[in-house]
């Protein structure tokens, strides 16, 4: 057994430009790639919710009829149609809000990639 071994002394820096892969990084976030899957997941979730609300509204309006009931003999039909109209009226603001959120998320995704292109061109 050899007992006269000594550890190597590092007299100069092991990495000349810092650790591999982080030369001259000018990022504001420590882990910039973690936002991309989150961004896409949120966008997809908003899109699925919007599609579900839209399908629900179209399912409600499927039985809606565009008629005017002049006779009192069709009172039951009037009640059914007014109930359908009340449900559709409740859903419309939620559908509008979902569309706005999807639009904002889409603008955010497009803006992220435009900024990323400009950062890569520098």
Q: Is 71 left (phi over 0), alpha (psi -120 to 50) or beta?
A: beta
Report if residue 107 sits inside a domain: yes
User: For residue 108, what pLDDT is reported?
Assistant: 96
The model's pTM is 0.63
Distance CA 35, CA 105 (A): 13
Report if residue 94 sits inside a domain: yes
pLDDT tens digit string along 11-24? 655 555 555 555 55
Report if residue 49 sits inside a domain: yes
Distance CA 49, CA 1 (A): 71
Q: Is the CA virtual torsion 51, 52, 58, 61 positive or negative?
A: negative
Structure-token match 């430009």, residue found: 17
Report if residue 51 sits inside a domain: yes
pLDDT tens digit string along 50-96? 999 999 988 888 776 666 666 667 777 778 778 888 888 899 999 99
User: For residue 109, what pLDDT is reported?
Assistant: 95
**What domain range includes position 49?**
41-56+79-122
- DSSP track, 11-29: -S-S-SSSSTT-TT---SS
Distance CA 81, CA 77 (A): 6
DSSP conformation class of 60: H
Number of domains observed in the structure of the chain: 1
Report if residue 118 sits inside a domain: yes
Report if residue 105 sits inside a domain: yes
Report if residue 15 sits inside a domain: no
DSSP conformation class of 34: G
Report if residue 65 sits inside a domain: no
């Amino acid at each position: 057994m050899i007992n006269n071994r000594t550890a190597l002394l590092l007299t100069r820096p092991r990495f000349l430009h810092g650790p591999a892969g982080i030369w001259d990084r000018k990022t504001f976030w420590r882990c910039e790639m973690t936002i991309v899957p989150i961004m896409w997941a949120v966008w997809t979730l908003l899109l699925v919710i919007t599609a579900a609300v839209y399908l629900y509204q179209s399912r409600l309006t499927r039985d809606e009829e565009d008629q005017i009931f002049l006779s009192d003999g069709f009172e039951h039909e009037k009640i059914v149609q007014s109930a359908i109209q009340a449900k559709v009226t409740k859903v419309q603001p939620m559908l509008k809000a979902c569309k706005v959120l999807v639009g904002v998320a889409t603008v955010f995704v497009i803006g992220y990639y435009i900024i990323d292109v400009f950062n890569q061109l520098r």
